[in-house]
A and B are shown apart, each in its own frame.
Chain A
């Protein structure tokens, strides 16, 4: 059974970098597409980007200058880095597997941007 788990700081200061890791179990990370999606409190879903099984990433242009998604050398994790955060980046962050449909999701990690 495939399982994804997000981890990382729940509180990030404005202007700093948000870093999250998604740990994958039950499947090979080199066999699928891996996405990050976020959901601000009370709002809809926003696709941040994905990295494919070969390590090639595609990003939402609205975040492209600030975001990096990459496969970790461990081959069981992939990561999200979002630089220069503001309060607008406060959200639940989900990692997910698959493309075109994202068929397995992590439980989500709440990230608050505040000083």
Chain B
């Protein structure tokens, strides 16, 4: 299985700040990397697919980059509603696997 490791596990930031979350794959996955936002008690929401493509309806404040084994999700101009847990997921090889999640507190 391809192991996905996110860092940090949690972070705290202020309104207006920018933050970057990192996701590292245990083997190369090309650009088959997706990012999700999950708020407490809710289902995950797709933010970014194929490493850098922004899902429809997602603000441009959310940007993804990377390829191979190293990927990042950057959120700029943080808003209170961005408080959530962020998950990366590889869809290169079965079984699809998720990172352990990064909890962002605003």
Interface membership of A100, Cβ < 8 A: yes
- The answer to whether B89 touches A45, judged by C-beta atoms less than 8 angstroms apart, is yes
In angstroms, Cα B45 to Cα A108, docked, is 13
Give A85-115 interface residues, CB cut-off 8 Å to B: 94, 96, 98-103, 105-108
Shortest CB–CB separation between residue A41 and chain B, in angstroms?
A: 12
Interface membership of B46, Cβ < 8 A: yes
**Binding site secondary structure of chain B:** loop
| Chain A: number of interface residues, binned into ranges | 20 to 34
- 7 interchain pairs (CB within 8 A)? A46-B98, A47-B89, A96-B43, A99-B91, A100-B50, A102-B46, A106-B43
- What are the residues of chain B within 8 A of A103 when measuring CB–CB? 46, 49, 55
Q: Mark B85-106, 1 if CB is under 8 A from A, else 0.
A: 0010101001111111100000
| Chain B: number of interface residues, binned into ranges | 20 to 34
In angstroms, Cα B100 to Cα A102, docked, is 17
- The answer to whether B98 touches A45, judged by C-beta atoms less than 8 angstroms apart, is yes
- The answer to whether A44 touches B46, judged by C-beta atoms less than 8 angstroms apart, is no
Give A53-71 interface residues, CB cut-off 8 Å to B: 58-62
Give B1-60 interface residues, CB cut-off 8 Å to A: 1, 32, 34, 36, 42-46, 48-50, 55
Partner of A44 from B32, B42, B55, B98 at Cβ < 8 Å = B98
